[in-house]
Structure 1
Amino acid sequence: MSFSGEIKRELEKKTFVPNSKRAFLRDAFLETGSMSNPEKGYHLEFVCEDEAHAAKLIETMQAFEIAAKRVQRKRYTVVYIKESEDIVRLLNVMGAHNCLMNLENLRILKDMRNSINRRVNCETANISKTVSAANKQIEDIQYIKEHYGFDDLSENLREMARIRLEYPDATLKELGEYLVPPVGKSGVNHRLRKLSELADSIKGKG
């Protein structure tokens, strides 16, 4: 059964004071309302045959602080809600509490998936950036080795160059731990930057 069908089945069991705002919204949804699959997107609408009915729907929902908009679709005026918070509020007003809970659970799962995806994308970007930086460092050191040699390097830079080539996949923290004595990440970064500047200088002279 569609999400719209589930809402209507639940609303059919609800009773409100006749002619009340809640009853009006419930009856309107049963007659002309529908909601898209919330897993794909949030969209709830009423298809009204005249402007007056659409205006009354919007006014009634505003009384419950629910923001709705309208659009003309052929000869019908469609009143719709796009924000999930407003849809949740409307379901509560109409008494579709089971569907409300289902929607809230879907929202939580969706937010969790989005959060995980953002984190994975961020970590992937960081890994890619780290790998690119490591490759550049290794290329620079290889260039120094082939066009300048290590003999004239300071002991710190010579050891740094050797460790970087020996452990191409190591992080800055790990590289620092391989040095004797150990050096922090900032120290490792400083030495690698010096090697990179030297490689650029040699290339400039060439």
Structure 2
Amino acid sequence: MSFSGNIKEELSRQIPAARHCRIAEIAAIISLCGGVSVSANERFCLKVQTENLSVARKYFTLLKKTFNIVVELSIKQSRGRSRNRVYMVYVKRHGDTVRILQAVKLLKGDGLDYMGAEDAQDITDSLIIQQTCCKRAFLRGAFLVAGSVSDPRKFYHLEFTCTSEYRARQIQSVLKSFELEARVIPRKKYFVVYLKEGDQIVDALNVMEAHQALMELENIRILKDMRNTVNRKVNCETANIHKTVNAAVKQIEDIRYIRDTKGFGDLSEGLAQMAEIRLAHPDATLKELGMLLTPQVGKSGVNHRLRKLSEIASELRDNKEEKHYD
């Protein structure tokens, strides 16, 4: 099962003890994947359709525990390429449907005027999710229906996919109440609310109380941070080795050029000794070279002498070029 699948399975097993939290979660599910049909004699039927068994099971359980009503479940095969199973949960009794819609504030006032997708009131402004616990429940329901998280081993990305902008803005507003700065972007015919920072996704899982998934994500983040730290150190050490080797090769080339051009006789005692020891120990570090000198010299002293030898070699090359042009 995918990481998203694990989260949804964990969330589907959580049934809030408080009735108001169950209603908040039901409101999220209905607003994102529910629909109401109205018969000729104005009788309501409520349907929730999903391809996720966890969503169907959770919604079924929430309705039974919250309203103690008769709920029907049917399963059919989708007609698309995926040929996935589609789960449909029905509330066919008019009175039960009205009770649910009134509870989730999808009926105008006390009447039977159902508010559809385009003119439904902003759920975030209603009494449904004024309490923090209800906001958590609302986000759980929204994630079950419309949420997904990428494989954290690859990259960090959590999103809610909504069919309308106002629903996306609702979810964004609830996330913001927990100091989660989600963004909304259009994607084809949908609107996507997303978080991309690892810390923000961890906080979002904590808000939804997906604690097992949170621990799994944190373990993955720790391993990734350790690998990144090790890689940085290895890359740094490799770069230093290349730099040291390239510098040593250049030093030896300069010293050999001095030796083959004019010899070491005109060099000072310290530079001549440095040149001989560097040729004899091409792989030695600056510290090791300094310990081989008599008297011993520190790294800065060795570096100064080698730099001086390079300057002499450069002058000899320049003089040779000038004589060549003359």
Q: What range is the shorter-chain TM-score in?
A: over 0.9
The yes-or-no answer on 1:34 pairing with 2:157 is no
Task: Using the TM superposition, give the Cα deviation of residue 122 of structure 1 relative to its aligned residue in structure 2, in angstroms.
Answer: 1.1
In the other structure, the counterpart of 1:92 is 206
Query: Equivalent residue of 2:153, what SS?
Result: coil
Match of 1:123 in 2: 237
Query: Which of 279, 292, 305 is 1:191 aligned to?
Result: 305
Matches within 5 A, 1:26-175: 26-175=140-289
Q: Give 5+ residue unaligned stretches, structure 2.
A: 25-133, 321-326
Q: 2:129 aligns to what?
A: none
The one-letter code matched in structure 1 to 2:204 is L
Aligned residue in 2 for 1:2: 2
Q: Whole-Å Cα distance in 2 between the matches of residues 137 and 8 of structure 1?
A: 63
Match of 1:11 in 2: 11
Looking at secondary structure, tell me which structure has more strand per residue: 2
Determine helix, strand or coil for the equivalent of 1:14.
coil
Q: Which residue of 1 aligns with 2:30?
A: none
Partner of 1:140: helix, strand, or coil?
Answer: helix
Q: Report how many residues are paired.
A: 206
CA distance in 1, matches of 2:135, 2:15: 12
More moved, 76-85 vs 162-171: 76-85
Q: Is the CA contact (8 Å cut-off) linking 1:15 and 1:23 kept in structure 2?
A: no
Contact 1:43/1:80, CA 8 A, preserved across alignment: yes
The Cα shift of 1:15 comes to 2.6
More helix by share: 1
Identity %: 61
Aligned-residue CA RMSD (Å) = 0.9
Say which SS state the counterpart of residue 182 (structure 1) adopts. coil
Residue type of the alignment partner of 1:25: L
- Secondary structure, aligned partner of 1:111: helix
Q: Identify the match of residue 23 of structure 1 among 137, 144, 164.
A: 137
SS in 1 for 2:294: coil
Structure 1 unaligned residues grouped into runs of 5+: none
Q: 2:96 corresponds to which residue?
A: none
Amino acid at match of 1:2: S
Question: In structure 1, the residue corresponding to 2:306 is in which secondary structure?
Answer: helix
TM-score normalised to the size of structure 1? 0.97
Deviations 1:61-114 (A, max 9, x none): 001111111111111111111111111111001110011011011111111111
1:67 partner SS: coil
